[in-house]
Amino acid sequence: MTVTTARWLRRPLPRPAARVSLVCFPHAGGAAAFYTPWARLLPPGVELVAVQYPGRQDRLGEPPAETMDELAGAVAAVLRADRPDRDLVLFGHSMGAAVAWETALRLEASGPGPRHVFVSGRPGPGRQRSEDVHLRDDDGLAAELRHLGGTHADLLDEPEIRAVLLPSVRADYRLIETYRPDTGARLRCPLGAFTGDRDGKATEADLAAWRTATSGAFTGRVLPGGHFYLVPQARQVVTAVLAACDVAPPVAHPVLP
């Protein structure tokens, strides 16, 4: 693995012999570690590869990406160099859904594309809403995070942690809120979309709008929960992803007393 690849990709449970990489893209302000619990839900032939955006955690000293083209272009280049012999399956949540779709478009434009793309918790490109969360003060930004439920409220109450966390959150919100997708762009591979039944940021109608983002097969699924439904529903999401890719999930062993 090159130094550049190592900066961008995290493998919480390395599987060098795997034939499929499930590449996961975090939400705004999120980090690769968000997907760590998924690693043990995958069969031996699938390796979890989580993208670490610049400007957070162990990449805190790097400036965050300013545009979608910068971010998706960099990830696409890294994935081309990472494991060229593997099938790629992309999954992105919230902002990560847009990054995954844009990355997949770039991969298809320059060579073999992903086997499947999954988007979660974000409206399709034709239903993007105009928002200005990145322009709010720190209290307003923290209030948005509390409302969505993706960040522990106690962390946002600590001034030192807020000072570290909020700059990357604000940068991500600026990127996604100034992003203007090409509504005529289409993937060729299958596209699956997920949302929570109480997610006001991505309704069922928003979910259906992803149908026009691919010329391949489309599936949509609504699961119980709000914007971060995929935390308590992790096993259901992973099982659905594997099934759509025709990969059997690992056998669940009973817990012995």
- 7-28 burial code (b ≥16 CB/10 A, e <16): bbbbbbeebeebebbbbbbbbb
What residues are labeled active site? 94
175: left (phi over 0), alpha (psi -120 to 50) or beta: alpha
CA–CA separation, 168 vs 207, rounded Å? 27
Q: What is the number of other CB atoms lying within 10 angstroms of the CB of residue 137?
A: 9
- Closest to 185 (Cα-Cα) out of 148, 217, 215: 215
- Closest to 45 (Cα-Cα) out of 190, 253, 248: 248
CA–CA separation, 71 vs 66, rounded Å? 8
